[in-house]
Amino acid sequence: MAPAPTRWDLAVVGAGPAGAAAALGALHADPHLRVALLDRADFPRDKACGDGVAPHVLDLLAGVGVTGLVDDRTPVGRLRLGRGTLAAERTMARPAWVVPRRILDARLVDAAVAAGARLIRHRVRDLRRHTGAVVLDGEVSAAVVVGADGARSVVRRALGLPRGPVALALRGYAPVAPGRRGAQVVEFGVRHQPSYAWSFDCGDGRANVGYGEVLHEGRPAPNRARLLEHLEALLPGATEGGRHWAGHHLPLSTAHWHPPAGRVLLVGDAAGLVNPLTGEGIHHAVATGIAAGRAAAAARRDGHPEQAGERYARATRRILLPHLRHTALAARLARSPRVLAAGLHASAADQHVFDDLVELGLARGRLTPAVAFGLGRALVSPTRPASRSREPA
């Protein structure tokens, strides 16, 4: 007779930022919960990503007792947005950080383990829902399961949920070009939209560099050579000395958010929650992870773990839906070169517009009146001269 599966209050599949945040959210709500954090890899391990960490992420983590995560890293206070001859470069309202995922994820896992989670190396291949539990691979039984296993989520597939729009990106590390030191640089494509190249200064002489674009039916996905070609064309010299190139898919969010009910919850990339305007995913990963962990803890406390999905849906709709609707609209508008140029003009002319667009791209921002007015003014003044790196004294 096969041994009975190990029983947990919560099993989290995937120990990236979303999964670690789910464990942290649950254990902050109830330190006595039995939480399993499952991942197929040992930590530290690399993960293809732009590595940008918004300050809002640190705010969320502080709410579950995690502080000092980036104290030894160099903050990046400036952001340059450009397309062709036009650019807006300004100081952000709050600095961001560029933390390689090899470092960030390991620190988050350590924090989850310190809070009481048990890290288990295990690659989940099968999920079965039963009346009183969810069983993974016939070995792990849990009252609630959180799927935090990324763009190719096994948990999402087991639920029979379709995948939405996807972008493809290539990331590497290269010496920081002199003109891009101390900044996060985003250069939008001039052919396919939405698309952009980036260079994010890591603070150690290297930059996280890459290029990504949304995939479209009927158009073949670009190969590695083509992605590198686009990166070099948009940011000359960015690929020189580059190493550790890795491609990854980004499951983009839409205006709709319908998390499933029941004992199985999806968070972060597994839930298709990558910002379609910027490709940023860490904020939503941490936000939904914490919300899922809290929902699982509350449902378990009340004796109704089967209601964890409903609790999670209520919480995430409240914090996500307005933002998702606004980013979906902004991503559609940004497909127009004219609107994109107007956004850059407006950002170069007005710090408030710049700040609001940054907020829209990084966390929970919306299309504000300042943005709407700035875009409208720029659209009716198409002859305004282009500007690079303009910021009032």
Mean confidence (pLDDT) of the chain: 93
Q: In the numeric block, which tokens belong to residue 189?
A: 């494509």
Neighbours of 151 (CB within 10 A): 18
**CATH placement of domain 6-51+100-164+254-325:** 3.50.50.60
pLDDT band at 146; cut points 50, 70, 90 = very high
Asked if residue 389 has pLDDT above 50, the reply is no
- Bridge-based pairing of strands 6-13 and 140-147 is parallel
In this prediction, residue 3 carries a pLDDT of 61
Q: Give residue-wise pLDDT tens across range 248-299.
A: 999 999 999 999 999 999 999 999 999 999 999 999 999 999 999 999 999 9
pLDDT digit string, tens, across residues 368-378:
999 999 999 99
Q: For residue range 181-220, what is the model confidence (pLDDT) as tens digits?
A: 999 999 999 877 789 999 999 999 999 999 999 998 878 8
Rg (C-alpha) for the chain, rounded Å, is 21
Coil, strand, or helix at residue 306?
A: helix
Q: How far apart are the first and last CA of the chain?
A: 76
Asked if pLDDT for residue 1 goes beyond 90, the answer is no
HSE-CB of 382 using CA atoms within 13 angstroms: 5
- Average pLDDT of the residues in 218-237: 93
- CA 118 – CA 31 distance, rounded (Å): 13
pLDDT at 275: 96
The answer to whether 355 and 89 have CB atoms below 8 angstroms apart is no
Better-scored residue on pLDDT, 389 or 289: 289
Q: Give the model's confidence band at 385: pLDDT under 50 very low, under 70 low, under 90 confident, else very high.
A: very low
pLDDT for 2 equals 54
Residue type, 388: R
Res. 392: pLDDT tops 60: no
Sign of CA dihedral 303, 305, 311, 316: positive
Is the confidence at residue 387, as pLDDT, over 70?
no
Whether residue 114 is predicted with pLDDT greater than 60 in this model: the reply is yes
Backbone φ and ψ for 135, nearest 5 degrees, come out as -115, 130
CB-side neighbour CA atoms (13 Å) of 321:
10
Task: Look at 54 and 1; give whichever has higher pLDDT.
Answer: 54
Q: For 109-122, what is the HEC assignment? A: HHHHHHHCCEEEEC
Q: Is the pLDDT of residue 390 over 80?
A: no
Phi, psi for residue 198 in degrees, rounded to 5: -140, 155
| Distance (Å, whole) CA 293 – CA 316 | 12
* CATH class of the region 166-251: alpha beta
Pairing mode of beta strands 206-214, 166-175? antiparallel
Query: Which has more pLDDT, 78 or 219?
Result: 78
Number of H helices, E strands in the chain: 10, 15
Listed by start position, the domains of the chain span: 6-51+100-164+254-325, 166-251, 329-379
351 to each of 82, 210, 294, 389, how far by Cα in Å?
Answer: 16, 27, 37, 13
CA 370 to chain centre: 25
Structure token digits, residue 32: 């006595």
